[in-house]
């Protein structure tokens, strides 16, 4: 069987995104721009699925359990004329946990834990925020999620999980993925050993 194609969408913007705050597992809502980005991603996805001859109603949809991902998924599905709900939630798709740094900006994290912050600057992939998790551990759970897929899938999750998936699939290295900006309001298609962004 050919590897599954993943139509991957990062959730729309939140106020914490706009403020440069680390969200992690905090359940922050979409802001007005985030709502528009989610709708735009749904419009792009509708065009891609039509191009690829996919019937949305027959495909699996899965989201991170955090509300910013679930709300994005509901708006995406509305653009596809699909009901809200009707999709799976998978905890493996949750955002990287930043522990005690959640709610802080990077500048505040640097002040509160200067040595840990310095280790993160040296090795963003392997570093452990205080009480949080490393990108390396997120990579493991994203690989596990990918290996569980049995069909082409639409997923709505986070920037951190997108980076981890790219490394898990050999598309990026930890060094290249660490600084990669994952856009909102677009669709990333993982297929044939690579990833293409559609905006």
**Active-site residue numbers?**
11, 95
Residue 89 is given by DSSP the state: E
Q: Do 137 and 97 touch, CB atoms closer than 8 A?
A: no
Per-residue b or e along 91-129, where b marks 16 or more CB atoms closer than 10 Å to that residue's CB: ebbbbbbbbebbbbeeeebbeebeebbeebeeebbebbb
* Vertex 4 angle, CA 59 and 46, to 5°: 45
């Amino acid at each position: 069987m050919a590897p599954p194609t993943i139509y991957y969408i990062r959730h729309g913007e939140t106020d914490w995104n706009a403020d440069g705050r680390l969200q992690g597992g905090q359940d922050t809502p979409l802001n007005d721009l985030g709502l528009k980005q989610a709708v735009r991603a749904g419009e792009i996805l509708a065009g891609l699925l039509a191009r690829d001859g996919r019937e949305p109603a027959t495909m699996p949809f899965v989201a991170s359990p955090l509300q910013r991902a679930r709300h994005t998924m509901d708006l995406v599905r509305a653009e596809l004329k699909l009901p809200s709900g009707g999709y799976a939630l998978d905890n493996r798709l949750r955002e990287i946990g930043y522990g005690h740094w959640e709610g802080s900006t990077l500048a505040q994290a640097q002040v509160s834990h200067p040595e840990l912050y310095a280790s993160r600057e040296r090795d963003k992939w392997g570093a452990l925020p205080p009480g949080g998790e490393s990108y390396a551990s997120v990579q493991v759970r994203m690989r596990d999620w990918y290996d569980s897929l049995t069909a082409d899938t639409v997923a709505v999750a986070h920037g951190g999980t997108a980076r981890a998936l790219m490394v898990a699939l050999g598309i990026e290295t930890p060094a290249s993925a660490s600084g990669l900006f994952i856009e909102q309001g677009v669709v990333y298609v993982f297929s044939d050993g690579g990833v293409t962004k559609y905006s």
